[in-house]
Amino acid sequence: MEKKRVSIRDLAAILGVTPSTISRALNGQGNISEKRREQITKLAKEHGYRPNHIAKSMVANKTFNIGLLLPEFTHNYFNKILAGIESVTYQKGYQLLICTSDELQEKEEKSCLTFLDARVDGILATAGNSSDDLRHFENVLKDGTPLVLLDRICEDLNTSYVVTDDFEGSFEAVQYLIDSGCSNILHIKGPDYISTSFNRKLGYTEALKKNGMEYREEFVLKGDQKAFEKDLNAVLDKHPIDGVFAFSDYYAYDVIQILNHRAVKIPDEISIIGYADEPLAQYISPQLSTVKQPAYEIGKHAAEILFKIIEEKTDEIITKQLKTTLVLRGTTKGT
């Protein structure tokens, strides 16, 4: 335990040269005789010398660490984002400092501080539900640490981001429901205060409008809440619902469970489209039609943008909106 690692000074002492010579030899720069270099490289290897990353960070004022803040990892969506990010950080030789926010404002704030204190070279983050207080992100910006937002957007935050075109994706889904004959379409909306909820609902309402269909307040239910089953049953009792567009595949799954209880035939009586193309979409039967998001690409692009900002030391704000794909499976009819 507590073994001391061999330092550049140790090597210097052995050879009777100075630390600077060792440093130069090992870093391949500065003038140094080929003989010395070989000698030192060999010695370093023999002694298992490994440069102290911490010390390097301190003098370079650069850590080669990126802070990544995600809500959680239970959704496959975020895993794929992580994989996309890693694909670029790995080959760039950067490390990921990962924090999860659990959608909690407090953890979000703490994570930002942690990242700043750790002197990360940049931050990739998904903003949480409560967009009321953005000070922690503003502090990041004020601090001069590059920040790229993922998945969700914060209107009031003047920074780079990568999102998917939720409006377009939703619009397309609802349009499909309409084209395949649905005329009483429910929307199961997502959590308040996150941009994706807003945009997906907007896609729904605009699709209705464009097709001359009436928007009804009572056709929009909030998923993920205790009263959901009761609420849904109430609408189903009252209205001839024939289509459902859900904020997520999980909400869609909940709907299907309830419809199964009511012995509703899917998609003959009611068509359903979810969102995200989580694995469950393929496991349930009938398989769930859904809007697929390019999660891996979101992560990849976000990381690439972050590196562009870091490496070019630019203040430029880069934004990117990726397209979704409507994946038709068993819970929808053909058009």
Partner DNA sequence: TTGAAAGCGGTACCAC
Partner DNA sequence: GTGGTACCGCTTTCAA
- Interface residues with its own copies (CB under 8 A) are 1-3, 5, 50-55, 57-58, 63, 65, 72-74, 76, 79-80, 82-83, 86, 90, 95-100, 107, 113-114, 116-119, 143-144, 253, 279-280, 283-285, 313, 315
Pick one of DNA, its own copies, none as the site partner of residue 87 (Cβ within 5 to 8 A by kind). none
How far from 195 is each of 31, 104, 128, 129, CA to CA, in Å?
Answer: 55, 16, 10, 9
Pick one of its own copies, DNA, none as the site partner of residue 134 (Cβ within 5 to 8 A by kind). none
Nearer to DNA, 61 or 158 (CB): 61
- DSSP conformational letter for 74: S
**From candidates 1, 2, 3, 16, binder to DNA by CB under 7 A:** 16
Nearer to DNA, 32 or 266 (CB): 32
Return d(Cα 252, Cα 248) in angstroms, integer. 6
Return d(Cα 116, Cα 57) in angstroms, integer. 14
Answer whether the bond into residue 286 is a cis peptide, omega within 30°.
Answer: yes
Nearer to DNA, 24 or 222 (CB): 24
Pick one of DNA, its own copies, none as the site partner of residue 330 (Cβ within 5 to 8 A by kind). none
Pick one of its own copies, DNA, none as the site partner of residue 63 (Cβ within 5 to 8 A by kind). its own copies
> What residue type is 230 in one-letter code?
K
Q: Is 65 in the site for DNA (CB under 7 A)?
A: no
In the block, residue with structure tokens 């909400």: 251
Helical (H) or strand (E) element with 162 = strand 160-164
Q: Which residues, 44 to 63, sit near DNA by CB under 7 A?
A: 49-52, 54-56, 58-61
Q: Is 23 in the site for DNA (CB under 7 A)?
A: yes
Beta bridge partners of 69: 99, 125
Copy the structure tokens of residue 75: 């959704």
β strands within 175-270, DSSP E: 185-189, 220-222, 243-246
**Residues at the contact surface with DNA, assessed by CB under 7 A:** 4-5, 7-9, 16-21, 23-24, 26-27, 29-33, 35-36, 49-52, 54-56, 58-61
